[in-house]
A = this chain, B = another copy of it.
């Protein structure tokens, strides 16, 4: 990558997770396009983000609003943070605009009301569904499923590692860079099938959050020179 930072679209970017990622990446200097079903809805999130950036004294970064499809078309890298119920339909709508790009799929296949029970789809994971729907011309990389939106929204450090899965090694490495830009450690963990681990873990963390009244995450332990 050159010094010019890629433009990142965040589809479904008005939710807690989407705005949280937008804040982190905007602070790191990445141009952001927040997408939503309508440009107007996306504009509200952009206005809020701009005032927050001003409060925090962050130098002007390009943050704009658009509908999901135009946002996908404008961006170099596209992030998807919609509820699972809108996963396939949102992807269908932007499929042509993703060709050749990295899609960062943050979707967790939670099926209310039993969000604390793992219910992975037949394909194995939501990310595998995305890869099948989009075809091999799109580099689907899954990430961020285990990070509490609460922590992304705050300015503090985040005690959660990010598992990064995808069939393209270079794309995984690029997403690991974006994870680090957002203030976390990313681990490149192999093929898109391995997204099942991160997606399933979300229900496990929901169970732990209920018991401990917290926003739990995971850390990878036992690494060389990082044993505490």
Contacts and interface: CB of A to CB of B under 8 A. Distances in A.
Interface of A: 116-120, 124, 148, 151, 159-160, 163, 165, 187-191, 193-194, 196-198, 200-201, 203-205, 207-208, 211-224, 227-228
A191 B114 CA distance: 11
A198 to B, nearest CB: 8
Given A216-B222, A221-B217, A204 B211 contact: no
Given A148-B222, A216-B220, A208 B187 contact: yes
Given A189-B208, A208-B189, A117 B222 contact: no
B217 A222 contact: yes
Nearest to A195: B118
A191 B207 CA distance: 10
A194 to B, nearest CB: 5
In the A-B complex, the 4 residue pairs with the smallest Cβ-Cβ separation, listed nearest first, are A197-B200, A159-B221, A190-B207, A189-B204
Contacts of A207: 188-190, 194
A193 B196 CA distance: 13
Given A118-B124, A200-B200, A208-B223, 10 more contacts: A165-B204, A187-B208, A194-B200, A194-B203, A194-B207, A198-B204, A213-B224, A214-B222, A217-B221, A218-B218
A221 B222 contact: no
Nearest to A202: B197
B196 A224 contact: no
B151 A222 contact: yes
Given A124-B120, A197-B118, A224-B212, A204 B190 contact: yes
B194 A204 contact: yes
B203 A190 contact: yes
A198 B196 CA distance: 10
Contacts of A165: 204
A187 B198 CA distance: 17
Contacts of A204: 163, 165, 187, 189-190, 194, 197-198
A137 to B, nearest CB: 22
